[in-house]
Amino acid sequence: MNRFFDFSPPQLRVVVFLTALLLILAFLTFIRSYSETNEESLKFSVQLAESDQTYSPVVVVDLNLSPADSLELLPLIGPALASRIVAYRDTAHFEKPEDIMKIKGIGYKTYEKIKSYIKVEPW
């Protein structure tokens, strides 16, 4: 006698088969939903890799006008560097984007990674 809802052995095999089939179909649907891409989902992509670091700018900030929290959106710029940028800008204005390398902690490599995200409007 079967204790699983009083199903007969053939009925139990059908229930197990249908359950397994349902799980397989759900798994395939889940995998397919992540494998499909469209142009809209790739429009603002950022690729970060050890060997090839390319950034596509989503936001461009003005060094002379942007608040510190907007500057923190830049790659490799945290709260400390953002506050240094604001402190520098309070004493002297940025004339060109390369002037950001005058900030302690921002060198040429960092500038190369963020240059497509920054701009300087003339005064």
61-119: CATH superfamily: Photosystem II 12 kDa extrinsic protein (1.10.150.320)
For the chain, what are the domain ranges? 9-36, 61-119
Q: Average pLDDT by consecutive 10-residue portion of the chain (123 residues)?
A: 72 92 93 68 51 60 89 89 91 90 92 90 76
For the chain, the three-class secondary structure string (H helix, E strand, C coil) is: CCCCCCCCHHHHHHHHHHHHHHHHHHHHHHHHHHHCCCHHHHCCCCECCCCCCECCCCCCEECCCCCHHHHCCCCCCCHHHHHHHHHHHHHCCCCCHHHHHHCCCCCHHHHHHHHHHEECCCC
- pLDDT of 42: 46
The answer to whether 68 and 89 are in contact (CB under 8 A) is: no
- pLDDT of 49: 54
- pLDDT of 36: 63
The answer to whether 74 and 114 are in contact (CB under 8 A) is: yes
